Amino acid sequence: MKTCFMAFVSAFILVSSNVFAQNFSMYGLNFGAPTINGRGYIASPNQGDIVFDTASPAGFFGYNGVAWIDMNAGVSAVPAGTISAYAGVTPPTGYVLCDGSSYSAAGYANLAAALWDSASSKYAYGGSGTYPSGSFNVPDLRGKFLRGVNGGSSSDPDAASRTTNNVGGNTGNNVGSQQSDQVGPHAHNVSLVPQPTGGGNGIPQAAASGSGGTGSTLSNGTSETRPKNVYVNFIIKI
């Protein structure tokens, strides 16, 4: 009980301005949690702090020493930043579309923390500022497939030349980078047989006095190389 009370007092002091009573009840405890607008603005939260954040998604949040946890429906089994294939048109509560949109880091603190790459000091999929401030982009997965990061493997021979998914994001062999479509090097050789006259069926032929040889087929195909596919919406947990 003493630990819970001290956590409440700590949270109350951190956001002493703009404080309103919001009833919070869990495990038989009832008290008023301080109301804020953007938990990301709390510079040095302490483990055990509880606030009511009016920024979207509004609700009660507790600080576990690492990140703010949504307490409105218990601790979510789905971590912020998880991407899912969704058959619906409108994302369910707690998710947004992976359409490259920009969001405030203060308003979406959990997702901002998940997408911040401390190694490169960038938001992985683009953005500006330094976590926990600034803004970040969610992945833009419209019309695209997903691919695992190459890491230390040799699965992606062009990993070093990967570009940003959005302005300010990661490049190269890092999460958040992307590649354009490409067909690997290949050839289609055909045998040329001497004929008295010119060739047919679109394949050039050698002259009658020649000894034969090789050639190539005419260019053909569609606008891209792709497998059979069905559209879904990619969504990300906030």
pLDDT in tens, 142-151: 999 999 999 9
The mean pLDDT of the chain is: 81
- Which domain does 151 fall in, by range? 83-180+233-237
Q: What is the pLDDT of residues 28-80, one digit of tens each?
A: 555 567 888 888 788 889 998 888 888 877 888 888 888 888 787 655 578 99
120 and 36: one domain? no
In a domain, 193, yes or no: no
Q: Which amino acid is at 119?
A: A
More confident of the two residues 2 and 57: 57
In a domain, 197, yes or no: no
17 and 43: one domain? yes
7 and 36: one domain? yes
Q: What is the pLDDT of residues 97-153, one digit of tens each?
A: 999 999 999 999 999 999 999 999 999 999 999 999 999 999 999 999 999 999 999
57 and 112: one domain? no
**How many separate helices (H) and strands (E) can be counted in the chain?**
2, 18
Question: Residue 20: what pLDDT?
Answer: 45
87 and 168: one domain? yes
91 and 175: one domain? yes
Work out how many domains the chain is built from and give that number.
2
* Domain stop point among 70, 102, 128: 70
Q: What is the pTM of this model?
A: 0.62
> Of the spans 78-87, 181-190, 205-214, which averages the highest pLDDT?
78-87
In a domain, 186, yes or no: no
165 and 91: one domain? yes
- Whether residue 14 is predicted with pLDDT greater than 80 in this model: the reply is no
Q: What share of the chain is helix, strand, coil (3-state, %, to 5)?
A: 10, 25, 60
In a domain, 8, yes or no: yes
57 and 103: one domain? no
In a domain, 223, yes or no: no
66 and 91: one domain? no
Residue 145 DSSP symbol: -
Question: Residue 223: what pLDDT?
Answer: 85
> Beta-strand (E) ranges in 75-232?
83-86, 95-97, 102-104, 116-117, 122-123, 127-128, 135-137, 163-164, 177-178, 189-192, 213-216
93 and 168: one domain? yes
Q: Which helix (H) or strand (E) holds 5?
A: helix 2-14
